[in-house]
Amino acid sequence: MTENRKKLLEVKHLKQYFNVGKANEVRAVDDVSFDIYEGETFGLVGESGSGKTTTGRSIIHLYQPTAGKIIFDGQDISKLKTRKEFLAFRRKMQMIFQDPYASLNPRMKIKDIVAEGLDIHHLAKNDQERSQIVEDLLETVGLNRDHSSRYPHEFSGGQRQRIGIARALAVRPKFIIADEPISALDVSIQAQVVNLLKELQEKHGLTYLFIAHDLSMVKYISDRIGVMHYGKLLEVGPADDVYEHPLHDYTASLISAVPVPDPEYERQRKQIVYDASQEKDLPDQPRKLREIVPGRFVRCSEAEIPKYRQRALAAEKQGANNY
């Protein structure tokens, strides 16, 4: 199914190191490769410090990658040089941030926040058209038209996140990176924002990279999931498969730790503890992301493939029995 879809984003052997060559060198992202197809939502999960946010920031070119390639819409973004090229690139790719309190300028009116992209890219011919676009956008994200002349402090967290979404949509991007867009929000509001993102995706044919630590929410919104740990991508696959039948031990331990709103389940829950030392890299058996069964990838050495393949096939069998 995925083979004949168009790849919108290709991340190839991305490395993002900080303090290179110094004693405190940090390998925040270490040889990460994945593709995102047009129209899908790719969820990136991991604990704090796993490098998921850094990956997102490298993709939108807030950092200059240490090594590797990022190809977006057929274009290698490390080859972008001029301001004009960057403008064209950033019009196609936008970002939604985690903290709706810190990401809106408190001194700007909502209409100016939302229209900033329009102004930079000269997308509105005159003032009238500009306010028209802004008001339409506010309506799209579920706010009122007359909210446009207010300031950010007049809005709740959920409403602010909607403003952030309207700002990202203003330049009509193809691709949106949502970095923990709901973790600062209350439970009842989280569902509102996630549903809005889904709705907008259907309406505008958007592609998302959804970065979060909340596994159950990621599973719900994503088509495919990538699991990161210590700067490395350990497992990639369809959301339901990864969640219900994780192949990598780390994924299994992560999923076993998610609390479920079901006391019966919680009473029987057994947490799987992941031992990172078993994953030591051996020089003669390099580990990299390998395809185990079509569409499912695990970071492993050549010798470990049969073990994971067996797990995948067992999961498939179990899945078939369930239907």
Partner 1 sequence: MVERILDVKNLKIDFHTYAGEVKAIRDVSFHLNKGETLAIVGESGSGKSVTTKSIMGLLANNARVIGGSIMYHGQDLLQKTEKEMQNIRGKDIAMIFQDPMTSLDPTMKIGQQIAEPLIKHKHMDKKKAWQQALEIMKLVGIQDAEQRINNYPHQFSGGMRQRIVIAIALVCYPEILIADEPTTALDVTIQAQILDLMKELQSKIETSIIFITHDLGVVAGMANRVAVMYAGEIIEYGTVDEIFFDPQHPYTWGLLNSMPTLSSTKLEAIPGTPPDLLDPPKGDPFAARNPYAMKIDAEKKPPFFKITDTHYAATWLLHPDAPKITPPAEIQRRWKIYAGMMKDKAK
Residue 263: what are its φ and ψ, rounded to 5°?
Answer: -60, -35
Q: CA nearest 176: which of 168, 186, 167, 184? A: 168
51 belongs to the binding site for partner 1 (CB under 8 A): no
As a whole number of angstroms, the distance between CA 9 and CA 310 comes to 30
As a whole number of angstroms, the distance between CA 56 and CA 51 comes to 9
CB of residue 244 to partner 1, shortest distance in Å: 8
Query: How many residues at the interface with partner 1, by CB under 8 A?
Result: 38
Q: Which is nearer to partner 1, 117 or 158 (CB)?
A: 158
**Per-residue binder mask for partner 1 (CB under 8 A), 98-137, x = binder:** ----------------------------------------
Residue 240: what are its φ and ψ, rounded to 5°?
Answer: -65, -40
Contact 181, 162 (CB under 8 A): no
283 belongs to the binding site for partner 1 (CB under 8 A): no
CB of residue 157 to partner 1, shortest distance in Å: 8
188 belongs to the binding site for partner 1 (CB under 8 A): yes
CB atoms within 10 A of CB 81: 8
As a whole number of angstroms, the distance between CA 17 and CA 257 comes to 29
Answer for which of 16, 55, 159, 161 binds partner 1 (CB under 8 A) is 159
CB of residue 93 to partner 1, shortest distance in Å: 27
Residues that bind partner 1 (CB under 8 A): 47-48, 156, 158-159, 186-192, 194-195, 213, 215-217, 219-220, 243-244, 253-254, 256-266, 269, 271, 274
